Chain A
Amino acid sequence: MKLSRRAFLRAGGLAMVSYGLDPLFLARAVYAKPGASSRGRVLVCLFQRGAVDGLSMLVPHGDARYYKERPNIAIPEASVIDLDGRFGFHPALAPLKPLWDAGQLAPIHAIGSPDPTRSHFDAQDYMESGTPGVKSTSDGWLNRFCQHQREHEQTPFRAVSFGPELPRILAGSAPSLAIGDLRAFGLRAPNDAARDRLTRAFEALYEKAPTGLLASSAQEGFEAANTLRRIEPDRYQPEHDARYPNGRFGQSLLQIAQLIKADVGLEIAFADVSGWDTHVNQGAAQGQLATRLGDFAQALAAFAQDLGERMNDVVLVTCSEFGRTIAENGSVGTDHGRATAMMVMGGAVKGGRVLGRWPGLEPAARFEGRDLAVTTDFRDLFAELLDRHLGAGSLDAVFPGRTADPTRYLGALRT
């Protein structure tokens, strides 16, 4: 490359001005802090798609009504891993108990969306756009955070989603990467020599692209690919005997840990896992849901184990679009409900406590007389994490329609 990257960005930026295009790109060049340390704080967001049964993750085993409503699929008292006398983990979440004991993990119950939709599609959409009830929002809240929090080191790895396509939550004008597999990112060619050749040719082609955005995006892509080659993702070995489960989700967490340790400037990581829509044969202490939860917990535990001390910089949050019915249905499963349970984990987490206000299972306390009521708006949890962990300055722009109010925070993090 003949131009230095900064000069290149500046040239691109000026070209943008003369073309009258979006100034956000310019802002990226101006606000970037090339000299800053690349070891920063990270927020990892994990989406359980399909509406996980919060009442099985975080069992209200102190409530007799729970057992009455679920004659076949309740987690037997003897199998529940008690947390605080009222709530306990599903036995499949056993790998997370040490994190709870160490005060690094806090579950939140009765959390969800203010919008009452029971459509997976709508509810996921709202949780990702961050604007419940407003469908036309075009970008996702994690992307809006990046758009408005511009002071960040210049890196293509600031916001990364692990999966083939960029999810809604990261869609928008701030640059973000979708990576299916760190080992396969970049130009494809039969061998290294051919790949180097193609890379060189395309880099040369884009070096003088007529406007800034294509050129800078391509440049970021090449930079990301080069960085990934340097950190040799195929030779990665998890530390501290961490064992990630096989499958896409476990591998996503492994790759997130890898990027965090590589100090490439990762700030936002996202991954999702489906299979929580347990309408039929949900199972109890064992069964379909137990298997899923076991895998999920093992992946989270391996992640914390692998990162070790580095978990002090990381907050991980799990979410799901809604919860499931309090009562089991006719096919020994559960149908779409309202509130569910989520978890936060990390060195900054004020854990070992169950967060949120428990509305109870009595019919009068339920939503529409049927489902666990939502007592915490999911945006208040996310806002706290963005504010207290990442130092977000403009939460009103990240969650339009929900005025930022620290008094609504759950106190999930140490301050």
Chain B
Amino acid sequence: MNIAATPRYACGRLESSVLAKLGMLALAVISPPAGAATAASRPSPPAHSALTASDSALHVLQRFAYGPRAGQVAEVAREGALAWLDSQLAADGRDDPRLAAIERRTPALALDPEDWARRFAAARRAKREGMAGEERAEVRELTGQVRALVIARAVTAEDQLREVMAGFWFDHFNVFLDKGADRYLLPGYVEDVIRPRALGRFEDLLLATAQSPAMLFYLDNVKSVAPGMQPARRGDPAKPARRPVGINENYARELLELHTLGVDGGYTQQDVIAVARILTGWSMQPPAQGGAFVFRPRAHDFGEKVVLGARFPAGHGEEEGVRLLRMLARHPATIRHVCEKLCARFVSDQPPDGCVDAAVGAWRASDGDMRAVVRAIARTPEFWDEQAIGSKVKTPLEFVVSAVRAVGAEPDSGARLADAVARLGQPIYRQASPAGYPERQEDWANSGALLARMNFAVALAAGRQPGASVDLDAILPVTIENSALVDAVNERVLGGAMSAHTRSVIVAELADVPDPVRGRALAVGLALGSPEFQRQ
């Protein structure tokens, strides 16, 4: 075990007390394999105290995975938390038969962008003719599959980090399923733009989103033309204006504010306008022609522009946009902004400077390689600080997926789990705001939604949640020893996070439940609905 023995700190400005603390933590993390195994099998270690091997395992599984599968904490504790993370970082399309089976049973995945465009056009025709036609039902069914796939992949995939990062980037480069052409453009955006680059270089991701019809349509860049230019032809999805119009600043503004520099990134309204002018002509083909990205020189503004003090001389076309995006991807404000978001996701809602500095350092050293950045964040003292552990409230998606994983349930191919996530307040692919879904606990600890989480927890444990089949026999014994049962629930379902208070409440509730099968379901339902399980 040497994985954490020499952690790299890109910032290199650690106080000695912090270092001492880290040393202790590192010792805990790299406790010898035999010790790790016994730690994992010990009944209910007190949560949030010294980090045992299984506490460390739970922490990395809560942040870099969608929570532990039933029993996975012990496995990762044996392997070592950071060793597990390294294997996730190294993973490169490993064999994953269960995931492959899920992808095979999803016909929507077999469609290419042209197929989607054709079906969308047919559905649109049907709508215009006032028919509740089969075409519309088909598109609904296909988008249902696409939403269901998010859950099934997050639950099943061995490469959990890839799923987590794909989710992070989708939110960062959010697109809204219900805006016009994005109904058919979104699936390709997810499969071809986001997922392949989830653990790649930021610059590649930024360029790919900037050249994706889904984004250009969503943020209206398809409507943005040089002043005085003829707009796109009629029948084009980019058509709404009937006469020549000017630039549309939407994409330019969000590109600077959300995707790259950040709201305090030091740009001006003049920069927004210049960026919009540079990106005029970045557009898409009509759906009938496949809906692909296209650069339209006729709509492009070939004049001179200045962005953040950098001159973009007159006479350049598509390539000046590429130059701009590369410049933005490397801008210090961008690196800081995106690293802060990553640390908010992985460390805490208001991440301390130390981990952000480490992430920035790794970014610079690796030219924005996300594997290096994630690796660095996981090796900061802030990540392992007891203030960080269990400090984040799960989003509804994280809650549902982690619950399904915790009880070893199998999601079916329908959208009912996705619908459950929507009812908890996070409809998948339906966040209208380009800021994506928020990360802070204030946005998710809503009282009605919390009660709905408890209902979901109880229903899932009782096998009554549509969309997931649960077999508690596979993870827990049927026993009349309530105390032993609750210990097993803590270890197998909560990964050891159960507080003494929760334990005593559940044991007390079980006292007058004569049927051990019902008692087991109640114990699991209460555990999944407990405050501990809402956190990660």
Cross-chain contact of B454 among A118, A125, A165, A187 (Cβ < 8 A): A187
**A205 contacts B387, C-beta separation under 8 Å:** no
**B447 contacts A221, C-beta separation under 8 Å:** yes
**A121 contacts B448, C-beta separation under 8 Å:** no
**B450 contacts A214, C-beta separation under 8 Å:** yes
Q: What is the chain B residue whose CB lies nearest that of A22?
A: B442
A138 and B433 in contact (CB under 8 A), knowing A204-B505, A217-B450? yes
**A135 contacts B254, C-beta separation under 8 Å:** yes
**A202 contacts B263, C-beta separation under 8 Å:** no
**B526 contacts A217, C-beta separation under 8 Å:** no
**B446 contacts A215, C-beta separation under 8 Å:** no
**B432 contacts A156, C-beta separation under 8 Å:** no
B534 is an interface residue with CB less than 8 A from chain A: yes
**B501 contacts A179, C-beta separation under 8 Å:** no
A-B contact pairs, 21 of them (CB 8 A): A25-B442, A125-B433, A135-B253, A136-B434, A166-B425, A166-B446, A166-B449, A178-B448, A188-B459, A198-B454, A198-B458, A201-B509, A202-B454, A202-B529, A205-B529, A206-B531, A208-B501, A214-B535, A218-B531, A220-B447, A221-B451
**B435 contacts A221, C-beta separation under 8 Å:** no
Cross-chain contact of A214 among B178, B219, B393 (Cβ < 8 A): B393
Give Cα distance in the complex from A187 to B393, angstroms.
Answer: 21
**A136 contacts B257, C-beta separation under 8 Å:** yes
A375 is an interface residue with CB less than 8 A from chain B: no
B502 is an interface residue with CB less than 8 A from chain A: yes
Cross-chain contact of A165 among B128, B243, B422, B529 (Cβ < 8 A): B422
Q: A158-176: which residues lie under 8 A (CB-CB) from chain B?
A: 164-166, 168, 171-173, 175-176
Chain A contacts of B454 at CB under 8 A?
A: 187, 198, 202
CB B531 to nearest CB in A, in angstroms, measures 4
Q: What is the chain B residue whose CB lies nearest that of A202?
A: B454
Chain A contacts of B455 at CB under 8 A?
A: 187-188
**A19 contacts B391, C-beta separation under 8 Å:** yes
**B433 contacts A135, C-beta separation under 8 Å:** yes
CB A226 to nearest CB in B, in angstroms, measures 11
Chain A contacts of B501 at CB under 8 A?
A: 205, 208
Q: B430-454: which residues lie under 8 A (CB-CB) from chain A?
A: 432-435, 438, 440-443, 445-451, 454
B285 is an interface residue with CB less than 8 A from chain A: no
Q: What is the chain A residue whose CB lies nearest that of B438?
A: A138
Chain B contacts of A210 at CB under 8 A?
A: 48, 390, 499, 531
**B445 contacts A214, C-beta separation under 8 Å:** yes
Q: What is the chain A residue whose CB lies nearest that of B457?
A: A202
Using a CB–CB cutoff of 8 Å, the interface residues on chain B facing chain A are 48, 128, 130, 176, 178-180, 219-220, 240, 243, 250, 253-254, 257-258, 263, 349-350, 387, 390-391, 393, 422-423, 425, 427, 432-435, 438, 440-443, 445-451, 454-455, 458-459, 499, 501-502, 505-506, 509, 526, 529-531, 534-535
**A179 contacts B448, C-beta separation under 8 Å:** yes
CB A26 to nearest CB in B, in angstroms, measures 12
Chain A contacts of B220 at CB under 8 A?
A: 119, 122
User: Which of A25, A136, A185, A222 has the most C-beta atoms of chain B within 10 angstroms of its own C-beta?
Assistant: A136
A177 is an interface residue with CB less than 8 A from chain B: yes
A99 is an interface residue with CB less than 8 A from chain B: no
**B176 contacts A121, C-beta separation under 8 Å:** yes
**B433 contacts A137, C-beta separation under 8 Å:** yes
Chain A contacts of B257 at CB under 8 A?
A: 136
Q: What is the chain A residue whose CB lies nearest that of B504?
A: A204
Q: What is the chain B residue whose CB lies nearest that of A164?
A: B423
**B128 contacts A209, C-beta separation under 8 Å:** no
Chain A contacts of B178 at CB under 8 A?
A: 121
Cross-chain contact of A168 among B390, B432, B443 (Cβ < 8 A): B432
Q: What is the chain B residue whose CB lies nearest that of A117?
A: B220
A177 and B391 in contact (CB under 8 A), knowing A121-B179, A125-B432? no
Chain B contacts of A14 at CB under 8 A?
A: none
User: Which of B257, B390, B509 has the most C-beta atoms of chain A within 10 angstroms of its own C-beta?
Assistant: B509
Q: What is the chain A residue whose CB lies nearest that of B502?
A: A205
**B254 contacts A205, C-beta separation under 8 Å:** no
Give Cα distance in the complex from A97 to B281, angstroms.
Answer: 52
* List of 4 A-B pairs having minimum Cβ-Cβ separation, nearest first: A221-B447, A209-B531, A220-B447, A173-B442
Chain A, residues 356-382, CB within 8 Å of chain B (1/0): the string is 000000000000100000000000000
Q: What is the chain A residue whose CB lies nearest that of B529?
A: A202
A221 and B450 in contact (CB under 8 A), knowing A187-B455, A202-B529? yes
Give Cα distance in the complex from A177 to B442, angstroms.
Answer: 14
**B434 contacts A135, C-beta separation under 8 Å:** yes
**A213 contacts B393, C-beta separation under 8 Å:** yes
CB A163 to nearest CB in B, in angstroms, measures 11
New contact pairs (18) apart from A173-B443, A186-B451, A202-B526, CB-CB < 8 Å: A118-B240, A135-B250, A135-B254, A135-B434, A136-B257, A136-B263, A165-B423, A165-B427, A175-B447, A205-B526, A205-B529, A208-B499, A210-B531, A213-B441, A214-B450, A217-B447, A218-B447, A221-B447
Chain A, residues 1-43, CB within 8 Å of chain B (1/0): the string is 0000000000000000001111011000000000000000000
A224 is an interface residue with CB less than 8 A from chain B: yes
A136 and B450 in contact (CB under 8 A), knowing A164-B423, A210-B499? no
CB B418 to nearest CB in A, in angstroms, measures 13
Chain A contacts of B387 at CB under 8 A?
A: 19-20
A281 is an interface residue with CB less than 8 A from chain B: yes
**B446 contacts A205, C-beta separation under 8 Å:** no
A214 and B448 in contact (CB under 8 A), knowing A119-B179, A121-B179, A168-B432? no
A280 is an interface residue with CB less than 8 A from chain B: yes
Give Cα distance in the complex from A25 to B444, angstroms.
Answer: 14
A176 and B442 in contact (CB under 8 A), knowing A125-B433, A166-B425? no
Cross-chain contact of B432 among A19, A121, A186, A280 (Cβ < 8 A): A121
A205 and B531 in contact (CB under 8 A), knowing A198-B458, A280-B130? yes
**A281 contacts B130, C-beta separation under 8 Å:** yes
A273 is an interface residue with CB less than 8 A from chain B: no
A262 is an interface residue with CB less than 8 A from chain B: no
**B451 contacts A187, C-beta separation under 8 Å:** yes
Give Cα distance in the complex from A157 to B530, angstroms.
Answer: 24
A225 is an interface residue with CB less than 8 A from chain B: yes
CB A199 to nearest CB in B, in angstroms, measures 9
**B447 contacts A177, C-beta separation under 8 Å:** yes
Give Cα distance in the complex from A138 to B431, angstroms.
Answer: 11
Q: What is the chain A residue whose CB lies nearest that of B257?
A: A136
Q: What is the chain A residue whose CB lies nearest that of B129?
A: A280
A70 is an interface residue with CB less than 8 A from chain B: no
A353 is an interface residue with CB less than 8 A from chain B: no
Q: What is the chain B residue whose CB lies nearest that of A129?
A: B433
Cross-chain contact of B450 among A173, A179, A218, A331 (Cβ < 8 A): A218
A248 is an interface residue with CB less than 8 A from chain B: no
Chain A contacts of B509 at CB under 8 A?
A: 197, 201
**B443 contacts A224, C-beta separation under 8 Å:** no
A292 is an interface residue with CB less than 8 A from chain B: no
Chain B contacts of A219 at CB under 8 A?
A: 447
Give Cα distance in the complex from A252 to B205, angstroms.
Answer: 44
Give Cα distance in the complex from A187 to B434, angstroms.
Answer: 34
A279 is an interface residue with CB less than 8 A from chain B: yes
Give Cα distance in the complex from A205 to B531, angstroms.
Answer: 7
Q: What is the chain B residue whose CB lies nearest that of A225?
A: B451
**B447 contacts A138, C-beta separation under 8 Å:** no
CB A341 to nearest CB in B, in angstroms, measures 23
Give Cα distance in the complex from A122 to B445, angstroms.
Answer: 27
Give Cα distance in the complex from A123 to B292, angstroms.
Answer: 26
Q: What is the chain A residue whose CB lies nearest that of B250?
A: A135
Q: A180-212: which residues lie under 8 A (CB-CB) from chain B?
A: 185-189, 197-198, 201-202, 204-206, 208-210
CB B234 to nearest CB in A, in angstroms, measures 14
**B446 contacts A217, C-beta separation under 8 Å:** yes
CB B180 to nearest CB in A, in angstroms, measures 7
Chain A contacts of B176 at CB under 8 A?
A: 121
**A156 contacts B447, C-beta separation under 8 Å:** yes
Give Cα distance in the complex from A13 to B443, angstroms.
Answer: 18
Chain B contacts of A119 at CB under 8 A?
A: 179-180, 220
User: Which of B423, B530, B531 has the most C-beta atoms of chain A within 10 angstroms of its own C-beta?
Assistant: B531
Give Cα distance in the complex from A340 to B387, angstroms.
Answer: 52
